[in-house]
Structure 1
Amino acid sequence: MMQLLMAAALAVLACARIPVLRRNRKDTVFVAAVLACGAALLTDPDVYVAVDHAIGGINLARLIMQMLMVLGLWFLRSALLHAVAPGTRNTLLRRSPLLVALGLLVVFFLMVGPTHTTTTWGDEFEGEITGALFSVTGIAFISWVCGEIAVVCFSYLRRLRGTFRRGFTMVGTGCTVGCLTMAMMAYGVIAHALPGVDPLPWMTPDVYHGLELLSIADVGIGLTMTAVAGHRRRVRIARWEKEAFEMVQPIREHALRVAGLQRTLEADDEAPLQDRLHRMIVEIWDAELAAGGDSVLTPEWRAYLLEVERKLDMEHADLHRTS
Structure 2
Amino acid sequence: MIQVVAAVLIWLLVICLLPGIRVRRDHSVLTAAITISVALTLNIDQVYLSLDPALGGRNFVDPLANVSMVVGIYFLSRAIIRAARPDEAIEKRDRAGMILLAVVIVGLAASFSAIVAQGSSTRFMVDYGDQWSAALYSSIQFGYIGYVVSVTGITCFRFRGDMLRPYFRTAFTCTGVGCSFAVLLVLLVLVMDILHLQGRLDAMRSVSPIYDAAVVAAMAFLCVGLAIPPLARRVLRHRDSVTEEELVSGLTKIWEKTTKKRQDVRLVRDTEMIRRLDRAQKLHRMLVEVQDALLVEPSLGSSLDIHELNVLNAAENYLAGPFVRQVPVRRRKREQAI
Give TM class, smaller chain.
Answer: 0.7 to 0.9
Quote the Cα distance in structure 2 between the aligned partners of 1:167 and 1:9: 16
Tell me the amino acid that sits aligned with residue 66 of structure 1: N
Q: Could you tell me whether the CA contact under 8 Å between 1:3 and 1:40 is conserved in 2?
A: yes
> 2:236 aligned with 1:230, yes or no?
no
Quote the Cα distance in structure 2 between the aligned partners of 1:279 and 1:108: 59
Q: For residue 139 of structure 2, what is the aligned residue in structure 1?
A: 136
Q: Give deviations 1:202-258, integer Å, cap 9, x for gaps.
A: 763333222111211222234344443332222111111111222233333333333
Q: For residue 281 of structure 1, what is the aligned residue in structure 2?
A: 287
- Residues 244-255 of structure 1 aligned to structure 2 (within 5 Å): 244-255=247-258
Q: For residue 262 of structure 2, what is the aligned residue in structure 1?
A: 259
Query: 1:258 is paired with a residue of what secondary structure?
Result: coil
Displacement of 1:9:
1.9
Tell me the amino acid that sits aligned with residue 279 of structure 1: R
Q: TM (normalized to structure 1)? A: 0.78
Quote the Cα distance in structure 2 between the aligned partners of 1:66 and 1:308: 49
Q: Could you tell me whether the CA contact under 8 Å between 1:157 and 1:169 is conserved in 2?
A: yes
Q: For residue 306 of structure 1, what is the aligned residue in structure 2?
A: 316
Tell me the amino acid that sits aligned with residue 178 of structure 2: G
Quote the Cα distance in structure 2 between the aligned partners of 1:130 and 1:269: 69
Displacement of 1:95:
5.5
Q: Give deviations 1:290-310, integer Å, cap 9, x for gaps.
A: x27x46445937644532331
Quote the Cα distance in structure 2 between the aligned partners of 1:95 and 1:287: 57
Displacement of 1:107:
4.1
- Residues 143-158 of structure 1 aligned to structure 2 (within 5 Å): 143-158=146-161
Q: For residue 179 of structure 1, what is the aligned residue in structure 2?
A: 183
Tell me the amino acid that sits aligned with residue 31 of structure 2: V
Give the 3 Å change call, closer, same or farther, for CA 295–24 of structure 1 in structure 2.
farther
Of 197, 217, 222, the match for 2:220: 217
In structure 1, runs of 5+ residues without a counterpart are none
Displacement of 1:189:
3.3
Quote the Cα distance in structure 2 between the aligned partners of 1:282 and 1:235: 24
Displacement of 1:281:
2.6
Q: TM (normalized to structure 2)? A: 0.75
Q: Could you tell me whether the CA contact under 8 Å between 1:14 and 1:34 is conserved in 2?
A: yes
Query: 1:59 is paired with a residue of what secondary structure?
Result: coil
Tell me the amino acid that sits aligned with residue 172 of structure 1: G
Identity of aligned residues (%): 22
Displacement of 1:131:
4.0
User: What is the CA RMSD across the aligned residues, in angstroms?
Assistant: 3.9
Give the 3 Å change call, closer, same or farther, for CA 239–41 of structure 1 in structure 2.
same
Q: Could you tell me whether the CA contact under 8 Å between 2:35 and 2:68 is conserved in 1?
A: yes
Greater relative contact order: 1 or 2 (C-alpha under 8 angstroms, separation 6 or more)?
Answer: 2
Q: For residue 211 of structure 2, what is the aligned residue in structure 1?
A: 208
Quote the Cα distance in structure 1 between the aligned partners of 2:11 and 2:263: 60
Q: For residue 2 of structure 1, what is the aligned residue in structure 2?
A: 2
Quote the Cα distance in structure 2 between the aligned partners of 1:235 and 1:45: 41
